[in-house]
Structure 1
Amino acid sequence: MNHVIVTDIARADSNAIAELGELGVATVHEAMGRCGLVGPSVRPVQHGARLAGSAVTVQCWPGDNLMIHAAVEQCEPGDVLVVTTVSPSLDGSFGELFATALQRRGVRGIITSGGVRDVAELREMGFHAWAGAQNAQGTVKATGGSVNVPIVVGGAQIDAGDVIVADDDGVVCVPRAQLARVLESSRARVAREVVARAAYEQGVLSLDHNGLRPLLAELGVTYVAQQEISRGR
């Protein structure tokens, strides 16, 4: 594909996005069938933050942040900027000035396979970031890329308008077309966890609550007293 900037992308319902954000990454990931995670290569640069929003995707050249400048214009309130490069690069392509411009447009944060810098300033201004590195190495503005095209960040393919959920556990992408199904599955998972939590608080063992004892037996797992093991040595 030639270098393009795709405009007027479709976005998911804002109320559904907000609810996914409250449910959190682990719940949404499990509800999706244990898929959609960006993975541990992209980590939060702050603690206790969580967000959910529509992805504005950016594909840059390594060591070059020109297309992040171009992407700012395409951002709307509630969006999340998602950035990657055509080959691996951990240069600090994003910092406080970008965050200032994006925060003014109502953008909720950035997810990037690359590096961010001005980390203290980002934390102070409450602009949340998940990144592959914290790196002061600067970049140039010299090479074309694309905005709002399909990209891959870590283990997830992300299309423009997909829903990004991020918190201390990492980042997960929910395809926009699957939002209703994932939301329903996530609610059901939370309801099951409420029941399980109440049982555990009463002292019920997870083995029994989840009916796992027959599985242990099926797998040939047996219980042996420590004294029996000692005698067998």
Structure 2
Amino acid sequence: MPSTGLIITDIARVDTEVVDALGVHGVATVHEALGRTGVVGPGIRPIQTGARVAGSAVTVLNWPGDNLMIHAAIEQCQTGDILVVTTTSPCTDGLFGDLFATALQARGARGIVTTSGIRDTADLRAMGFPAWSGAVHAQGSVKATAGSVNVPIVVDGVNVEPGDVVVADDDGVVIVPRRRAADVLVAADARVAKEAADRTAYAAGTELSLDRKGLRPLLAELGVVYLTQQEYLGAR
């Protein structure tokens, strides 16, 4: 089987209800629910503020400076998908712009995550098409080399399989493995409920996080001591 030159057409996806619920929780909560894994490196940043989306990954492997396989990938996108793009070696060229976004919006896709560059950013923001990228760069591209669509890729240190759940917001991007999505949602729901109770206690001023989380014994175990300022100055 060749490592490139593949377009997989029938990927499995997570139920829309699970994807949408993970999207409501957002990147930080889902990352914690996933056991503090899955979060894409900080080099992938949003071009907008205030967007929060989730969708099923349609993955694209391009050659650097070449966006041929993005053209091919659009045909494979369905309602609720997010295009996830990388290149075979580092590339910051603007492989994606407003024409691609127009085609993807027409197919119901929810956004793009790419390790390469984005251009036409003002147009994308005006369109309401959210994007997370490794660069903003007007450099154009060619269409000359076969890559692949819907194969496993790596995005800034995180493995992405086609059909995995992508959650993206102002904090970045997190990838939830497709087979774990339902369990991660349960964990995220539980975390949100716990944080709501914490928030209520902190807002009321009735408890400190040191006590609510049982951290005072840990401070003592680590040898942390409390001193008055006079005691501290006298010990110097």
TM-score normalised to structure 1 length: 0.99
| 1:54 corresponds to | 56
Which stretches of structure 1, 4 residues or longer, exceed 4 Å deviation after superposition?
Answer: none
1:212 and 1:75 map into 2 onto residues whose CA distance is 48
1:232 Cα shift?
2.6
Alpha-carbon offset, residue 117 of structure 1: 0.2
What is the CA–CA distance in structure 2 between the aligned matches of 1:164 and 1:73, rounded to whole Å?
A: 19
Q: Distance in 1 between matches of 2:141 and 2:40?
A: 24
Overall identity of the aligned pairs, in %: 65
Alpha-carbon deviations, 1:115-147, whole Å to 9, x = none?
000000000000000000111011111111000
Task: After superposition, give the CA deviation of every residue in 1:140-168 in whole Å (9 maximum; x if it has no partner).
Answer: 11111000000000121000000000000
- Which whole-Å CA distance do the structure 2 matches of 1:223 and 1:137 have between them? 57
Distance (whole Å) between structure 2 residues aligned to residue 2 and residue 213 of structure 1: 55
Q: Please state whether the residue corresponding to 1:9 is helix, strand or coil.
A: coil
Q: Aligned equivalents of 1:88 and 1:185: distance in 2?
A: 35
User: What SS does the aligned partner of 1:132 have?
Assistant: strand
CA-to-partner distance for each residue in 1:33-66, whole Å, 9 max, x for gaps? 0000112010000000010000000000011100
- Read off the aligned partner of 1:226 and give its amino acid letter: Q
2:208 & 2:233 partners in 1: Cα distance?
A: 28
**Kept in 1: contact 2:4–2:146 (CA 8 A):** no
Q: Distance in 1 between matches of 2:193 and 2:4?
A: 47
Unaligned runs of 5+ in 2: none
Q: Which residue of 2 aligns with 1:18?
A: 20
Which residue in the other structure is 1:231 paired with?
A: 234
Instruction: Compute the RMSD of aligned alpha carbons.
Output: 0.7
| Counterpart among 191, 212, 215 of residue 209 in structure 1 | 212
Match of 2:158 in 1: 156
Q: Secondary structure at the match of 1:55?
A: strand
Q: 2:36 aligns to what?
A: 34
1:2 Cα deviation after fit: 3.7
- Which runs of no fewer than 5 residues in structure 1 stay unpaired? none
> Following the alignment from structure 2 to structure 1, what is the Cα–Cα distance between the partners of residues 25 and 4?
38
